[in-house]
């Protein structure tokens, strides 16, 4: 199991589904652990009841059906699927409305979904998901890439309220993949994933949603900076080492003999 998890951590996100399927066939006895611990690129389904798209994940799945955060119904139909409590459902509806605005402002398009469920410790948990397709045919407003996807998964465990405060444990994963294909850069592919964790205590006076939103906004900024430094920064460093900018400039200059 340890070797399997190590392999999946090194697997490019675009190949994660194929690799996970192969591991499940080799290690069927660890299927539940693999499915719960391995993050895969997010998939999308349309809620036929309201015409809105929602994101599929392990936290809204029961058997082969997925619960929509918009209609609170399972697709395909499932009669006895689990649902959040009435109070938690109200918070889930509000969170989806707010997070859709966050997604539009920060990502300039994309799909978002929020799911909440009660846990065994008198608290609750929530999963905030964002899927952004940055390709030319995608739903973003700057489709400059041949292929491109940003999948963000934020899982927050909220402890029971004690003396007006609550403990929040956030685990965030971002999977990035992009491919360019043009005359200036040629065909170029870059993909990877990164995971971070954050624990904080907040007063519940402003509400759980405000506290969770503050944590997600902070950790997403850190994740973007890490991706920029680790993936883009290192890639640029390697390219400039192999092909220094001065050499590229000389290649672009017209031959003096042709002048």
Kindly report which listed range (25-34, 46-55, 71-80) carries the lowest average pLDDT score: 25-34
- At 245, the pLDDT band (50, 70, 90 cuts) reads low
CA distance 195 to 76: 31
Lowest mean pLDDT among 25-34, 49-58, 76-85, 88-97: 25-34
Condensed to tens digits (0 to 9), the pLDDT of residues 103-140 reads 998 888 889 999 999 988 789 999 999 998 877 666 55
Average pLDDT of 195-214? 93
Sign of torsion over alpha carbons 210, 216, 218, 220: negative
Task: Provide DSSP, the chain.
Answer: -HHHHHHHHTS-GGGHHHHHHHHHHH-GGGHHHHHHH-----EEEEETTTTEEEEE-GGGEETTEEE-TTT--EES--TT-----HHHHHHHHHHHHHHHHHHHHHHSS-EEEEEEEE-TTSSEEEEEEEEEE-BTTSSSS---BSEEEEEEEEEEEEPPPBTTEEEEEEEEEEEEEEEEEETTTEEEEEEEEEEEEEEEEEEGGG-HHHHHHHHHHHHHHHHHHHHIIIIIIHHHHHHHHHS-HHHHHHHHSPPGGG-
CB contact at 8 A, 140 and 166: no
Name the pTM for this structure: 0.80
């Amino acid at each position: 199991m340890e070797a399997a998890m190590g392999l999946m951590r090194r697997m490019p996100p675009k190949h994660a589904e194929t690799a996970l399927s192969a591991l499940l066939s080799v290690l069927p006895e660890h299927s539940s652990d693999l499915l719960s611990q391995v993050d895969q690129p997010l998939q999308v389904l349309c809620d036929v009841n309201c015409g809105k798209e929602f994101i599929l994940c392990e936290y809204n799945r029961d058997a082969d059906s997925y619960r929509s955060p918009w209609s609170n119904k399972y697709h395909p139909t499932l009669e006895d699927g689990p649902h959040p409590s009435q109070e938690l459902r109200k918070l889930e509806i509000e969170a989806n409305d707010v997070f859709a605005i966050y997604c539009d402002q920060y990502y300039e398009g994309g799909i978002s979904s929020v799911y909440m469920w009660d846990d065994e410790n008198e608290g609750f948990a929530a999963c905030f998901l964002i899927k952004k397709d940055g390709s030319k045919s995608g739903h973003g407003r700057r489709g400059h890439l041949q292929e491109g996807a940003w999948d963000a998964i934020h899982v927050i465990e909220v402890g029971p309220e004690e003396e007006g405060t609550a403990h929040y444990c956030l685990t965030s994963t971002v999977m990035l993949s992009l491919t360019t294909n043009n005359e200036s850069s040629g065909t170029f592919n870059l993909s990877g994933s990164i995971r971070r964790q954050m624990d904080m205590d907040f007063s519940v006076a402003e509400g759980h949603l405000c506290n969770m939103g503050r944590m997600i906004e902070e950790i997403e900024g850190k994740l973007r900076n890490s991706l920029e430094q680790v993936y883009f920064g290192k890639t640029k460093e390697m390219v400039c080492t192999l092909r220094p900018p001065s050499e590229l400039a000389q290649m672009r200059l017209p031959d003096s003999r042709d002048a």
